[in-house]
Amino acid sequence: MKPAAHLDGTDWTDATCPVARTVDLVGDRWSLLIIRDAMDGAQSFTDFQQRTGVARNILTDRLRRLVDRGLLRRETASSGRRQVYALTDAGRDLFTVVVAMRQWGERHAFGPKEAHSVLVGEGGQPLSDLRPTDADGTFMSADTTTVRRP
């Protein structure tokens, strides 16, 4: 049986699973790094290429896909001479995902004394750890949740 398809032709890995659909849309390394850099002010092809080091052909493909999937939009730069990329609301909604990945990386991808970048708020303080809660505010984990399938 063929997987369900997205409007842009994406074949869903697991049509009823939001995690699988999200991974299908943004789960490759370059797409998430482009989204991360857009959140950090990158706008031009050159910005993304310099920050990520991705090959130009791959960057071209990923930017096109992120635009086609509604995570970035192309705009004319204020100079009127070139196109730049901006996050859409859907792209901005990935902020929590990027923060969760960053915090996981801080805990598990670095040694205890190893230097790494830190995401801070407007006051200069690091963000609090993200913790999922239920509707009553109780902390949840993989041990205290289940998935309801259709």
61 occurs within a structural domain: yes
Which pLDDT score is estimated for 3?
A: 47
Which pLDDT score is estimated for 1?
A: 40
The CA distance from 105 to 101, in Å, is 6
Q: How many domains does one find in the chain?
A: 1
Q: What is the 3-state secondary structure (H, E, C) of the chain?
A: CCCCECCCCCECCCCCCHHHHHHHHHCCHHHHHHHHHHHCCCCCHHHHHHHHCCCHHHHHHHHHHHHHCCCEEEEECCCCCCEEEEECHHHHCCHHHHHHHHHHHHHHCCCCCCCCCCCECCCCCECCCCCCECCCCCECCCCCCCCCCC
- Among residues 61, 13, 1, 2, which one has the least CA distance to residue 34? 61
116 occurs within a structural domain: no
109 occurs within a structural domain: no
Which pLDDT score is estimated for 6?
A: 52
The CA distance from 108 to 128, in Å, is 17
Which pLDDT score is estimated for 9?
A: 56
Residue 4 has pLDDT above 90, yes or no: no
**pTM for the full predicted model:** 0.85
8 occurs within a structural domain: no
149 occurs within a structural domain: no
The 10s digit of each residue's pLDDT in 86-141 is 999 999 999 999 999 999 999 999 998 999 999 999 999 999 999 999 999 999 99
Which pLDDT score is estimated for 13?
A: 75
The 10s digit of each residue's pLDDT in 37-95 is 999 999 999 999 999 999 999 999 999 999 999 999 999 998 988 999 999 999 999 99
Domain extent for 66: 18-97
Q: CATH number of the domain that 33 lies in? A: 1.10.10.10
Which pLDDT score is estimated for 21?
A: 87
Higher pLDDT, 25 or 104: 104
Residue 11 has pLDDT above 80, yes or no: no
137 occurs within a structural domain: no
